[in-house]
Chain A
């Protein structure tokens, strides 16, 4: 009985967290050092979460899957409420840090509510760059890796160059690519593609070389052609590591994207941050960082979902 009660309580911990944050925000005055936002955006958001967490708590009583997951993660989300409240006290209420660089919640949220058009435009622009660059990079990287892994001659002639060029941070090439490519878009795509290309090529080729020889011998005794050995044996066996290469690739692509955007490209989240910084609007900088964090998290989640689908067979063999 007691257990049941604590479990129910756990499901309402997020709701309690929001209550704490809301109480602190409403009961304590903001420091008057902060410039006042046009609307009480932070209060709106807290009301919104107050309602959603309460509804979630109620609904989870009837939905088994949600119940299980909330009983597990409820404490964490309650804790998030506390952390948010503490930051509110330190920054918003007491203004312990210079308010120019550490704006209160209302002002950061104002960037979203008042400037969502430009932020959405920037997200769209960054996505275009990232997807184009990533596809080129992953595609060429995969082909290079397969050639390096299977073709001894190609490996002999090309591999040393790849070892030489690969480890150089792709962003170093920004000044050069800006002069080579007619548009900054093309230059940025090149930089992103380059950074993805290396990690995908490296992981693909080493993974293919590490495929147990027995797999190829088995397929040869079964009458498999060379093409079959490459596409149906070598590549599938190397898939987990290739995926790891894609994973590293996308992380370096984020980095390249942000750097490229801060250097010369118009629009994009990286550009937005450096623009806001140049105008000393630090609330905009924080808004940009939040966008990037959420954005990267979404892409990685997508990538992991994809992995679970493609590499389903791996579940029992290895974990990472």
Chain B
């Protein structure tokens, strides 16, 4: 991928020959990532898509610094990643808000953890407003819907103004309509804060709707199959011909287009 920074200067990701292996229960060494090379320009929106077992979540956790690489490494703005940091926000598939904190305290958690809450109080208010949770600051997570919780979790990840936001199927647990509304929400946040976004998803439409680049990955052996630049203006229209063409192209790479493959086993 050619490094052409989109407006932003910070948050460029360089992945250099990244290998991550696990020891399986049978004692065999299994490669979750098999020498991955990828460049993500600062300020871009990149989706990682592929079948389960292709290593896309492992790759995302490597960028977050939640797990050590076996060899190779991830570099953000030239610096090697060794542990999680506030420069890289992370939104999980489940909102994982803390049930003992109200929405406001949940969102300001990272600021408190880094002892910068006092200076950034108004940021918290701003983000509560941005994600549409004004009036729910004092509510507890269990009192709100799944979509609202997920918005709070996005606000929590973004309130510290990270250079990069990593999204691990953040909308996977939501129903179809909430999901589409939330996609617009994420797009709006990206436009507003110009954060580099890396999102893992199973949903081709979601990837096409939001991304500059779609990284198609394959399993066994896990590797990057192709990086596709999406040359469509925002806001994107899901029914547009060119949009459908991109979808067809991605599904073809993933072997899901048209022809039904012979099953490997019968039920």
Contact = CB atoms under 8 A, between A and B. Distances in A.
Interface of A: 212, 214-215, 217-225, 228, 232-233, 236-237, 239, 311, 313-314, 316-317
B73 interface: no
Contacts of A219: 109, 113
A222 B160 contact: yes
Q: Is the interface of A mostly helix, strand, loop or mixed?
A: helix
A145 to B, nearest CB: 18
A214 B94 contact: yes
B253 interface: no
B89 A221 contact: yes
B218 interface: no
Top 4 A-B pairs ranked by shortest CB distance? A222-B110, A223-B86, A316-B142, A224-B113
Name, among B100, B101, B143, the residue most crowded by chain A CB atoms within 10 Å (CB to CB).
B100
Contacts of B89: 221-222
Interface string B51-75: 0000000000000101000000000
A9 to B, nearest CB: 39
Nearest to A221: B90
A103 to B, nearest CB: 51
Contacts of B64: 221
Contact of A217 (B66, B100, B140): B66
26 contacts: A212-B96, A214-B96, A217-B90, A218-B90, A218-B92, A218-B156, A219-B109, A220-B66, A220-B83, A221-B64, A221-B66, A221-B90, A221-B157, A222-B89, A222-B113, A222-B156, A222-B160, A223-B110, A223-B160, A224-B109, A236-B100, A237-B100, A239-B100, A311-B100, A314-B100, A316-B142
A313 B88 contact: no
Contacts of B84: 217, 220-221, 223
A218 B99 contact: no
B70 to A, nearest CB: 20
B102 to A, nearest CB: 8
A237 B99 CA distance: 8
B113 A225 contact: yes
Nearest to A220: B84
Contacts of A239: 100
A90 to B, nearest CB: 51
A222 B113 CA distance: 7
A316 B98 contact: no
A220 to B, nearest CB: 4
A253 to B, nearest CB: 27
Contacts of B92: 214, 217-218
B221 interface: no
Nearest to A316: B142
A313 B113 contact: no
A222 B109 contact: yes
Contacts of B90: 217-218, 221
Nearest to A223: B86
Interface string B94-123: 101011110000000110111000000000
A292 B143 CA distance: 41
Nearest to B90: A221
Given A214-B96, A218-B92, A223 B113 contact: yes
A313 to B, nearest CB: 4
Most buried by B among A212, A214, A223: A223
B132 interface: no
A228 B142 CA distance: 23
Given A222-B109, A222-B110, A313 B100 contact: yes
A237 B98 contact: yes
- Pick from B84, B86, B89 the residue with the most CB of A within 10 Å: B84
Contacts of A218: 90, 92, 96, 156
B92 to A, nearest CB: 6
Interface in B132-162: 140, 142-143, 156-157, 160
B27 to A, nearest CB: 23
Contacts of A222: 86, 89, 109-110, 113-114, 156-157, 160
A212 B100 CA distance: 14
A218 B114 CA distance: 14
Nearest to B88: A221
